[in-house]
Structures are given as structure tokens and as C-alpha cells.
Structure 1
């Protein structure tokens, strides 16, 4: 192969060999990563799909390239509340693999998810303004026949009891906030305050067992039934009971949580309880490979310490040693001769083939 190259003096992007020669990234993923790495600051606000569309990477090809970048730690995504209560998806693209903890640190440093304070918006939320309508009529005042305003009525005892709000503990406040925020994930999970209060005890039990607020929100809002949710309070109560994690060793769940769970499930109609809901796919964490070569990461599905490529290379090396022993070949001596001849000493395939052809070629 004849190789000729002229180093550019401007308009170039430094690319790491770990990216260019990455064995688990397709050509579309590498091109997309290098293209994004060389973008100017005024174009970084566009989504990754927009840049892929400019490169002609669309549809299934883009999904495949993005999936490979996410699995190998080059792309991370996070949903965070934005302005006016809207949720936005933020993407983080890196030229080196990052773990989930490293990506979270970068997002925190950049201030992603820290929405604007109500006091800095214009107009300021909650600013007092003069009343433009008439005063409300008293309860005991009688109206004329031509008046279209109905008389005000005193709230009933049931309504007063529903309006009254007791003091909540910090965990109960956090659990209620999670339940009320489910409407942002799906409109079918919209709860009123009285409905959320019925489920607070169950949600608090999840938090007490070590589940974070974000994980609880993900479990409750993912894998909804294909035919829709008929009763939000019944569906969430059923899911909180059925997917309750195990209690820590030596502890027993409080009786109030079990009683409230049975009450919520009994109130829900049978049609509101799903028969089965799909479980979201599990994404294993990124771990550092302990194999030879440059440092890299991979996703370990169990307790693996080496990536599949390093395991395959080690298996080939062991097979070469056994094959050389069967043929009576000294690989160390052969490697020294290869260095003297200017060849690659690590090319065990070529050394083994040459030795087999000269010394033991007739053996099968």
C-alpha cells in the first residue's frame, strides 16, 4: 500500500486513534462523532439527528449509529425541566467514553436542568395586580331575579376535609411531588392532590427502601398498557404494590403502607388494573476493560472484567501456544528472528503459518 498525506494547517479536527480504529463503532458512528467534534460553538444547540441529516445519515442508519455511540459511552441523554414547565432532552457528546457518573458531573458543571427562577422571568410570576371584577357576594345575600350570578354556597364537610392539608414529612413531600409530576411523562397519569395523598404512603415506602425519586418516577411512568390507563390512581396503586422492592434485611414494612395499598387497589375498578406491563430494558453500566491494549470501556452484563474483543484475542493466543507446542515451535525464538528480519514480532498468525509450512506442513 502506497501512503501519501499532507498535514493540514487549518480547518482540521484532531481525531484519536481510539475512535478511528474502534472495533465496535460503524463508519456512520465514527463520521458522526468526528463531525460533531469539529462543530463551531454556534451550531452545538442542534440535536444529533439534525447533524446526521446533514451528513445523509437518516432513518435506521442513524438509529444504529446513535445506539452504538450510547452503548460505548460517547453519547449520553438526559431529560430535565426547562422554561415554563416544559421538559427538554439534553444530549452530551464526548470524544472519549464517559461513564454515567462522569456525564452527570459534566451536566452539573454546565448547569443543565437548573431552570430559571420565577423572579427573573418577565413578567414576574405572581406579581400582584388590581382586581378588575366586582366583589364576591356574601353567602347569606339574596339575589334578584335578573341576576345571572348564582349565590355562593358554604363548602360541605366532605369538601372541607378534602381541602384541609396536614403537615407532611420531607419524605412525604418528595413522594407527593413525584406522583404529581407523572403528568409530565404521560397525560394518562394525571393525579389530583387528594388522589396523590392516597398513594403517598406507598411511595414513601419505596423511598424508605432505597429507591431514588428519579427511579420511582421511571418505574411508574414506563411500560404503560397498550390499551391505555382507565384509572390513574388505580393503575399507580396496583403498580406500587406489585413492583414494591424488597425491604432491607431485619426490617418490616409498616402496617399503614400495606393497609393503604389494599384500600387503593380495592377502590380501583377491575378494568383499571393491567394484566401485565412490559419491563423497560436494562442498560448495564460501563466498566473499564482489564485486557491488554489501550484503556477502553464496555458494558458488562454480569461480572465480566474483559470486553468480548479482548477475550477473543486471548483465546486466539492460547490456541496459538497449544498449536506451536504440538508442532515443536518456539514462539519466543521465532519472535526474535522476526524482529531481526524487520517483521512484526506479534504476528503469531503469520509465524505459525510459516513454521507449519516448513516444519510441520504435512501434519493436519
Structure 2
């Protein structure tokens, strides 16, 4: 009686394993769509780096019109622009890539990249000229020229202060002394030299409006919060602006009245040589009376 077998019979062991015990073992799967054929001349190239071989395989899998600039490729992979640029130069040197610079009618220079699945020298022919479908035929082609290495520029550094010449700090004026002395009223009002430079003009305006330094300190420190002051400079800047007193009115001019009596000039008496006031030279009252009595 014949029976239906659900599985194929196992192979007889011949003493040799069906798969290699060492080295590579490939699990082959035939692709029906979305695949790229790569020749052994590229995949097993002896003079190309693995980065260049992988980059060439990626470029051959891209459709026409894809962007394959250094920045575009470096944005996709972790190698970075330096390694991508080096791999592209390798592919150019071995005939897998050709980069040609052309000028558009607008004057802009673009790079046209040709990828060869098989380099022309392996086919025994010269590389074909690039087609100019999107460029007018009269536009001249500009061959790529090797660029001279750019000199490395040293980063600009801010001038360092001379250690022998210390920072003089803000000029000692009445406004500066006022701001420095705020911490004597409240230790939380400690201001740096930079803050004092910035606040000194506002404090000077208070003094210019007739306020005494002590009155200014009391106005700025009155009613301070009990909580810790995290930004004393910002608090003082606000109070110097918000609490600024008005300008003093101008002094009234004196009222007009009768003119003050004019004082007569001093004269020397012709008789006793004493000084007396009179319109002109002559004798004083004593000498004049003596002369009348005589």
C-alpha cells in the first residue's frame, strides 16, 4: 500500500558537511525588484577603499537626477565630508566617476556627475561625452581644475589685557561713590564694576537734580524686599529710572523796585587830608565849618 509523504527524505550523510565549516557562507536570495547589479571589478576592487566601494554602490543604485554632491552624501552617512570627498576622488581616479563643471546661461557654474557601472577603460573605449539636454550647445564647458590648497587662517582672538596694567575701573565720581556705598546700607546691594559703569549716568542725574548722596541712598534702599535679591543691578536700574525726582524749578528773578541810592566817591580833604565823600575835590565838613567861623 502506498502512502503520501509529507516531507522529503533526508539526504544520506556522506561524511562531508553540505555547508563549509570555515569562512564565508552565503544565504542566496534572488531579487525580483528593487535591486542593483554590481560587477566584481568594483565589489572586489583591490585598490579602492571600502568607503569608496560602498559609495560607488550607493551612487549606482540612485536614479538619474539625484544629488550626489559632497554635502548631500555626507548628510546621509556618518563618514563626514572629508571621507566622502576622499572616496569620490578615488572613484574618479579609477574611472567610476567623472565630474564636469559647466556654466548655465545665467552664469552659474554647476557640476555634472557621470557614474559608470563599468569604467570605460575596462571596456576598451574612451568615456562618452556628457549629453547637454538641459544646456544650450553653445555654452562652453569648463573643465575642472585642481584647486590650490587654501592657507589656514588663524582664528581671530580678542586682545588680551596687559597684566602689568590693571583695569582702572570706573572713574571715582560722586555717582560712583554713591553706588559703591549702597552695600553699606544693605549687603545684598553688591554691584560689580561693570554694573557701576552702566548705572553711574543714572545716579549722576539724581545728583544733578539737587539730591544729596545720602538722600539718594535712602530713596534707593527704602522698602527693599525681605527675600534674597538675585539681581541687585537690575533692581537698582529700575529704581533709578522709576523713582527719579523731577527737576527743580528755576530760581525766581528779584522783583524790580526803586533804584538803590548811589554812593558818592571818596575825596581827600584839601585842609586836613582826610577822606570824605563828595562829588568832587574840596574840604571836609570840619574844615569847611572852621573856614566859615574864621
Shared fold, TM over 0.5: no
Q: In terms of Rg, which structure is larger?
A: 2
Higher relative contact order structure (alpha carbons within 8 Å, sequence separation ≥ 6): 1
Which structure shows the higher helix fraction? 1
TM-score when normalising by structure 1: 0.29
TM-score when normalising by structure 2: 0.35
